[in-house]
Amino acid sequence: MSVLPVVLKARTLHTATMIFLHGLGDTGHGWAGILNTIRPDYMKIVCPTAPSIPVSLNNGMVMPAWYDIKDISSDNSAIREDIQGVEASTKVLQTLIDMEALALKDAGRSRIMIGGFSQGGAIALNTLLRANDKGKLAGCAALSTYIPGMMQRSDMPDLKGKIETPIFHCHGEDDQMISFERGKLTSEALSNLAPNNEFHSFPYMGHEANQEEMDLLQQFFIKHLPPLLTPVDEL
């Protein structure tokens, strides 16, 4: 059963959209509240909530999750992550992007950012990899996350062309859920795939977000989604 996303309408005329996916066990409400404090007035926020499924990592407990995680300690991505679930959630995000592109009319994908925390960030990055030929988005925010299925350098994705979408990537150096080593490996892969990629690491930060990170994300919004001189009429 799908859950309607949390939607925060733009405070002024809608000319940009951020679609942001939460992490394991969370809902869209928490991140909608955080993003509401840093968004420009013309930005609409869309924060979907994942369906509730049994999560193997948590002894089969049912909770919101974009895909099943089987064994967080495994170095084998086939054992660690449910890739079929990743692809299913990627299609959900792609559908949301298409809907927002219609709402933004001629500006389309160029005024849409995607992003996510942890599992949600993994879906956002996978969407960039899967839809690299559909046109540039305004940006992607990948917080405390990884590229699904990539556990070592030999797993790095090989794309025909570079990712043009700017990427904002952050990771805590004390993250106990997704190791900083995996964060650095993700950063290395993104640097090879996307010329416009920035990586920020935070000492003493665990699997969480902090204010410094949010301040940098706000700057990323302003840099890559500045006000439009000619506004886009919302449907």
Catalytic residue IDs: 118, 175, 207
Q: Does an H or E element contain 180, and which?
A: helix 180-193
Cβ–Cβ < 8 Å for 205, 172: yes
What sign results for the dihedral spanned by CA atoms 209, 205, 116, 111?
A: positive
Residue type at position 185 = L
Tell me which DSSP letter residue 72 carries.
T
Spatial separation of the C-alpha atoms in residues 7 and 44, rounded to whole Å: 7
What sign results for the dihedral spanned by CA atoms 55, 94, 117, 28?
A: negative
A 10 A CB-CB count for 76 gives 10
